[in-house]
Amino acid sequence: MSIADNIRSLKNETDTIKVQLIAVSKTKPAEEIKEAYDAGQRLFGENMVQELTDKYENLPKDIKWHFIGHLQTNKVKYIAPIISMIQSVDSLKLLQEIDKHAQKNNRVIDCLLQAYIADEETKYGLGFDQIIELLRSEEYAGLSNVRIRGLMGIATNTDNEKQIKEEFYELKTFFDGIKQTYFRQDPLFDVLSMGMSSDYKIAIEQGSNMVRLGSTIFGQRVIKHWKNN
Ligand SMILES: *Cc1c(COP(=O)(O)O)cnc(C)c1O
């Protein structure tokens, strides 16, 4: 199947159940992104700042770019004017930096807090206790140019479906609790981003409403620089 076919069938599958589809285009060249765009896809995910800003310059301006990788505070300024959502907020310090640059750009930036749910030390993210601490902090209360729209999580990279299911279940339960406690008056806290190519069906069963798919759409990623593809 072509990229366009993949987009059409995945959009069909997700639109009917109100799950948002993020096409993860990291390492993929502009032509392939354009093919997905022409098939109707508008939400794309990237995890490198330079790659994102280059693609932004070269692709249609109605694309909504989501940042999904670990973001260094000193690079926030490059994406602050153009980013639609930062899904990978993993510290208060980063959130403060995003707020600062959002303010400079006279905008409010939508963010997700990245929750650490995997059984792997290599993954970034905040523990559930740290998320609560952040939401209760005075520093967070003082921020005016970031809007926390929900949570994002990456499950353990394993074949053990039971484990993946439990991790997503825990995140969904935590999400519901946080929404009740800290965002009761805020209908915009509504995004639970969980599920990648290998586990998105389990994620949707467990209550995800945003999936981030790369290889299912564009094929396997080969490890070379996107500009030289
Ligand atoms: C790369 C990536 C994805 C997509 O991975 P696939 O397995 O290709 O679907 C999703 N989420 C994050 C955070 C990623 O870095």
Q: Which of 79, 66, 58, 54 is nearest to 21 (CA)?
A: 66
Q: Report yes or no on 102 lying in a domain.
A: yes
Q: Is the pLDDT of residue 89 over 60?
A: yes
Ligand 1 neighbour 152 (Cβ under 6 A): no
Q: What are phi and psi of 31, to 5 degrees?
A: -60, -40
CA–CA separation, 30 vs 123, rounded Å? 28
225, part of any domain: no
50 lies in some domain? yes
Strand partners, 45: 24, 66
The neighbour count for residue 224, using CB atoms within 10 Å, is 9
Lowest-confidence segment of 69-78, 113-122, 172-181, 220-229 by average pLDDT = 220-229
Structural domain includes residue 69 = yes
Q: Which of 49, 85, 196, 215 to mutate to test the pocket of ligand 1 (most atoms within 8 A of CB)?
A: 196
Of 113, 201, 212, 222, best ligand 1 pocket probe by most atoms within 8 Å of the beta carbon: 212
Rounded to the nearest angstrom, the distance between the alpha carbon of 10 and the centre of ligand 1 is: 15
pLDDT (average), residues 78-84: 98
| Residue 146 lies inside a defined structural domain of this protein | yes
Asked whether residue 223 is domain-assigned, the answer is no
Distance CA 227, CA 143 (A): 37
Q: pTM of the prediction?
A: 0.96
Mean pLDDT of 74-78: 98
- Mean pLDDT, all residues of the chain: 96
Over residues 125-171, the pLDDT tens digits come to 999 999 999 999 999 999 999 999 999 999 999 999 999 999 999 99
Range of the domain at 132: 3-218
| pLDDT at residue 120, as a whole number | 82
Find all residues with CB under 8 Å of 69, minimum gap 6, and list them: 26, 46, 47, 48, 88
Is residue 225 scored above 70 in pLDDT?
no
Q: What's the CATH number where 91 sits?
A: 3.20.20.10
Share of the chain above pLDDT 90, in %: 93
Q: Is the distance from CB of 178 to CB of 113 less than 8 angstroms?
A: no
153 in a domain, yes or no?
A: yes
Task: Calculate what percentage of the chain has a pLDDT beyond 70.
Answer: 97
Please tell me the predicted confidence (pLDDT) of residue 121: 76
Both tokens assigned to 15: 């639109």
pLDDT at 226 over 60: no
Quote the CA–CA distance of 29 and 155 in Å, as a whole number: 27
Count of domains in the chain?
1
Confidence of residue 229 (pLDDT cuts 50, 70, 90): very low
* Composition of the chain by helix, strand, coil, percent to 5: 45, 20, 40
Q: Please give the span between the terminal C-alpha atoms of the chain, in angstroms, as a whole number.
A: 20
Q: Residue 173 falls within a domain, yes or no?
A: yes
Query: Mean of the pLDDT values across residues 79-89?
Result: 98
